[in-house]
Amino acid sequence: MNSKGLIPIIDPIKKRLLKLSTKEPISFLEKRLKEMMKYPFSKPGYKIEFYKDNKIFCMDVYTCPVYDFYKQFGKEEMILFRRTWCTFDYTAAEHVVEGGKYERKHTLSDGDKVCDMRWYIKK
């Protein structure tokens, strides 16, 4: 096996199979996100509420163990965390589904009580 592991092999296959069974892009986005959030982004470490609001898939994150880890180190490390971990979702949205977009107004790393993640498809 190569050094990249199985994810680069399995994920594209799973994505193609899901596309065959899911015609509506927002449903495809929802299924992909729920699949991606099973592990490691699940309980007991994460507390996440999923729901759909019209054509926007919403994920409200109330606890994040990676944030909990970084906040012990101070302001400089929190800036690093925010610039790496917290900004990855913008890129992930574009990778998950064609036209995928991501927005949020609040984040735990800014001191808010929730990361209010909003995923949608922009045509």
How many whole angstroms separate alpha carbon 42 and alpha carbon 86? 17
Q: What is the pLDDT of residues 39-92, one digit of tens each?
A: 666 677 889 998 989 889 899 999 999 999 998 998 899 999 999 888 888 888
Q: Which pairs with CB-CB distance under 8 Å and at least 24 residues apart come from 102-105?
A: none
Global pTM reads 0.75
Contact 53, 80 (CB under 8 A): no
* Residue partners of 76: CB distance under 8 A and separation at least 6: none
The sign of the torsion formed by the CA atoms of 43, 113, 96, 22 equals positive
Examine the pLDDT at 32 and tell me if it is beyond 70: yes
